[in-house]
């Protein structure tokens, strides 16, 4: 049967079935491991009592629509209230231009589905979000890497790419990027937007972490500069609960229509029940009240990790100092091999993600690693960083 199944697999599935990182991630589920590897929110941040009471409210008020088949683009009440709260971010979008998906991951899948034929070019930052690489890969694109500096994608490098290649879309995470935590300044955003405006192409702006700002000033999404050419993505995973699988996108009329077709044939629509919970979460003011609690927990954890790095890590290592988000990106000296060190770290019950997995081209980022600080206690953060420093010092 294995041979038979192998013989009938599609080209797309062959591209994604072997994820090198899954082997890496698999080991970290052992209970004795302190994991800085994941990208999970802290369960302590889940507003569980709120969700419990909102569930009842949803059944009382909306059961008829919440439990029935619904609109492919999403529950209208939710789309309308998202349209309202996006105004605070500077995004002016009619509710008709907002679509609900099952996590913003699904928007990445559908956007590739509607635009990409095999060998079409997609431009992504080096490094970039691993889940995006996976979602794109099924459609067999040609990845083009945009070089980055301390603010993410470099406008001149992007322009050079757009001048020489037909790029179907550009994928960026401009705020607290995964994996680096880097954020583009206002100036950088304007430069990037003007390059994209100049060349006929589309920006996918992924913004899952925007609300998780622990200091500094909010940066307006690039979407606000080039709304017609941007598909803006965000999610309830970091501000409500990822288990509900609720994401949303903002797109122009034509793209929304295509996204609707993709969703219609794929899963009809996202859980109406969960959508109404998200609606009531915003509507009742619970979100506004709850968000500071989430920020308070993460802010402390991030500071703890940055302090521990300062105190324990070898002096020839450097790292990002993000003003929010979930990750810190570490760069070691040229001779540091983070994959080799990874297995030593696992032996010592500490896990992280070796940075090379965030690059689409081989032989990059071998001296880098991504650390997550949201999902473990401050005590364990200190312990993990201390251990990790010792392992690195021994193995370099």
Assess 188 for contact with a second copy (CB under 8 A).
no
* Contact residue for a second copy among 82, 184, 195, 262 (CB under 8 A): 262
Residues 235 and 87 sit within 8 Å (Cβ to Cβ): no
Assess 63 for contact with a second copy (CB under 8 A).
yes
* Contact residue for a second copy among 61, 67, 187, 314 (CB under 8 A): 67
Assess 61 for contact with a second copy (CB under 8 A).
no
43 versus 333: smaller Cβ distance to a second copy: 43
Q: Give bridge partners of residue 235 from the DSSP assignment.
A: 247
18 versus 315: smaller Cβ distance to a second copy: 18
Assess 297 for contact with a second copy (CB under 8 A).
no
88 versus 254: smaller Cβ distance to a second copy: 254
By rule CB under 8 A, what count of residues binds a second copy?
79
* Contact residue for a second copy among 56, 164, 335, 363 (CB under 8 A): 56
From the CB of 242, what's the least distance to a second copy, in Å? 5
202 versus 388: smaller Cβ distance to a second copy: 202
Q: Which two tokens stand for residue 274?
A: 């969960």
- Choices 84-92, 177-185, 243-251, 307-315; region in contact with a second copy by CB under 8 A: 243-251
DSSP state of 223: G
63 versus 85: smaller Cβ distance to a second copy: 63
Residues 180 and 327 sit within 8 Å (Cβ to Cβ): yes
Assess 20 for contact with a second copy (CB under 8 A).
no
278 versus 330: smaller Cβ distance to a second copy: 278
Assess 238 for contact with a second copy (CB under 8 A).
no
Residues 272 and 66 sit within 8 Å (Cβ to Cβ): yes
112 versus 368: smaller Cβ distance to a second copy: 112
Sites for a second copy among residues 301-330 (CB under 8 A): none
d(CA 366, CA 379): 29
254 versus 347: smaller Cβ distance to a second copy: 254
User: Taken in order 280, 285, 291, 296, is the CA torsion positive or negative?
Assistant: negative
* Contact residue for a second copy among 36, 91, 173, 244 (CB under 8 A): 244
Assess 241 for contact with a second copy (CB under 8 A).
yes
Reduced DSSP (H G I as helix, E B as strand, rest coil) percent helix, strand, coil of the chain, to 5: 50, 15, 35
Assess 8 for contact with a second copy (CB under 8 A).
yes
Residues 337 and 367 sit within 8 Å (Cβ to Cβ): yes
Assess 266 for contact with a second copy (CB under 8 A).
yes
Assess 335 for contact with a second copy (CB under 8 A).
no
From the CB of 319, what's the least distance to a second copy, in Å? 25
From the CB of 239, what's the least distance to a second copy, in Å? 12
Q: Write out 283-303 in H/E/C secondary structure.
A: HCCHHHHHHHHHHHHHHHHHH
CB atoms within 10 A of CB 8: 6
Sequence-ordered list of residues with C-beta below 8 angstroms from that of 257, at least 6 positions apart, any chain: none
End-to-end CA distance of the chain: 46
User: 57, exposed or middle or buried, with CB in 10 Å at 0-12, 13-18, 19+?
Assistant: middle
For 168, the enclosing helix (H) or strand (E) is strand 167-172
From the CB of 299, what's the least distance to a second copy, in Å? 21
For 378, the enclosing helix (H) or strand (E) is helix 378-394
Q: Which two tokens stand for residue 362?
A: 């081989």
Assess 21 for contact with a second copy (CB under 8 A).
no
From the CB of 26, what's the least distance to a second copy, in Å? 12
**CA neighbor of 117 nearest in space, from 101, 138, 146, 132:** 138
Sites for a second copy among residues 70-129 (CB under 8 A): 70, 101-103, 105-106, 109, 113-117
d(CA 80, CA 100): 11
From the CB of 173, what's the least distance to a second copy, in Å? 17
Assess 17 for contact with a second copy (CB under 8 A).
yes
Assess 143 for contact with a second copy (CB under 8 A).
no
From the CB of 140, what's the least distance to a second copy, in Å? 11
**CA neighbor of 44 nearest in space, from 280, 241, 327:** 241
CB atoms within 10 A of CB 309: 20
* Contact residue for a second copy among 243, 292, 314, 333 (CB under 8 A): 243
> Dihedrals φ, ψ of 250, to 5°?
-120, 125
């Amino acid at each position: 049967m294995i041979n038979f199944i192998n013989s009938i697999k599609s080209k797309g599935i062959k591209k994604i079935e072997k994820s090198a990182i899954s082997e890496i991630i698999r080991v970290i589920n052992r209970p004795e491991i302190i994991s800085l590897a994941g990208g999970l929110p802290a369960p302590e941040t889940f507003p569980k009592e709120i969700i419990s009471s909102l569930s009842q409210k949803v059944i009382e008020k909306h059961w008829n629509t919440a439990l029935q088949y619904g609109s492919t683009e999403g529950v209208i009440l939710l789309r309308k209230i998202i349209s309202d709260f996006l105004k605070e971010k500077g995004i002016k979008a009619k509710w008709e231009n907002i679509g609900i998906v099952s996590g913003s991951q699904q928007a990445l899948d559908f956007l590739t589905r509607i635009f990409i034929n095999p060998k079409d070019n997609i431009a992504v930052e080096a490094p970039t979000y691993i889940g995006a690489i996976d979602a794109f890969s099924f459609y067999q694109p040609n990845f083009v890497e945009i070089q980055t500096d301390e603010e993410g994608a470099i406008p001149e490098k992007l322009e050079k790419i757009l001048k020489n290649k037909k790029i179907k879309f550009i994928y960026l995470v401009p705020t607290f990027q995964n994996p680096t935590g880097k954020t583009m300044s206002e100036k950088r955003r304007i430069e990037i937007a003007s390059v994209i405006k100049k060349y006929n192409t589309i920006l996918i702006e992924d913004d899952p972490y925007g609300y998780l700002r622990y200091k500094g000033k909010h940066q307006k999404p690039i979407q606000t500069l080039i709304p017609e050419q941007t598909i803006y993505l965000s999610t309830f995973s970091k501000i409500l609960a990822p288990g509900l699988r609720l994401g949303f996108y903002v797109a122009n009329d034509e793209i929304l229509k295509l996204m609707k077709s993709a969703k219609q044939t794929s899963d009809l629509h996202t859980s109406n029940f969960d959508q109404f919970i998200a609606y009531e979460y915003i509507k009742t003011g619970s979100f506004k009240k709850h968000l500071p609690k989430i920020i308070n927990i993460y802010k402390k954890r991030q500071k703890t990790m940055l302090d521990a790095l300062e105190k324990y890590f070898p002096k020839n290592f450097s790292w990002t100092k993000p003003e929010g988000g979930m990750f810190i990106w570490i760069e070691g000296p040229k001779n540091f091999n983070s994959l080799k060190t990874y297995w030593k770290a696992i032996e010592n019950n500490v896990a992280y993600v070796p940075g090379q997995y965030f690059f689409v081209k081989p032989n990059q980022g071998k001296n880098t690693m991504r650390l997550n600080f949201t999902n473990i206690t401050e005590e364990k953060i200190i312990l993990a960083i201390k251990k990790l420093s010792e392992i690195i010092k021994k193995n370099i």
